[in-house]
Amino acid sequence: MECLPVAGREWKAHRKSALTRVIISAAMMPAARYSLVAYVNSPVGQFVESLRRQLHPALPHLAAHVTVLPPRVLKGNESAATALLEEVCSKADPFEIALGDVETFCPTTPTVFVRIARAGYRLRELHDRLNSGVLLASEEFPYMPHLTIAKFSNEKRAHDAYKIASDRWSAFEGLRRIEIKELTFVREEQENHWVDLAPVPLGRSLVSRSSR
């Protein structure tokens, strides 16, 4: 039997209690979420970022992007997810999408976005191929590719923003097409804050074969 002085027993009990709190705290932490996006580094992307800052200045800066895989918890580790992404995307040719009108997801969610008017099926095909294995998730909503402007706290704010965004978008004179040739695997560090993990080019296997 272990014989400890009172002070020693109290310290041991305190250490055990502290360790228990750490374990419980870790167990209660939500699992990290991951996503796959295509950044829009063009005048149309700059337009969307500027419009978001005007309509929802409280949001932290978010680079304009089209989501290919909505946020999800991995069924494995990041290395396995990256390997799957590279394998699938290496077999998909780069492509171009065209943007349509400004719309909202109200009343489902108070989100204002720009619709994909042409070649949206290519994004859906990519989504369906990638939503498997370690990346498999049951989507909260049916996947619909789009260029998000901002998500608001309620429908009224979304409808007000929709009117302004529609007017601004009608006056936009830049190119309304986006070339999808590289995706980015990202992880959520905290709400509305994402960090880039790895670039995932499309058609890399074709490039590798042609360079031999």
Reported as a single tens digit per residue, the pLDDT across 52-70 is 999 999 887 889 999 999 9
Classify residue 73 by burial, with Cβ atoms within 10 Å: 0-12, 13-18, 19+: exposed
Digit-by-digit pLDDT tens for the chain (212 residues) are 455 555 555 545 555 555 545 444 444 457 899 999 999 999 999 999 999 999 999 887 889 999 999 999 999 999 999 999 999 999 999 999 999 999 999 999 999 999 999 999 999 999 999 999 999 999 999 999 999 999 999 999 999 999 999 999 999 999 999 999 999 999 999 887 899 999 999 996 444 444 44
CATH code of the domain containing 44? 3.90.1140.10
In a domain, 203, yes or no: yes
Report the alpha-carbon distance of residue 48 to residue 179 in Å, rounded.
16
144 lies in which domain range? 36-210
In a domain, 77, yes or no: yes
Query: pTM for the complete prediction?
Result: 0.82
In a domain, 111, yes or no: yes
Q: What's the Cα-to-Cα distance from 163 to each of 42, 104, 121, 194, rounded to whole Å?
A: 24, 10, 27, 28
Number of domains in the chain: 1
Report the alpha-carbon distance of residue 60 to residue 126 in Å, rounded.
28
In a domain, 171, yes or no: yes
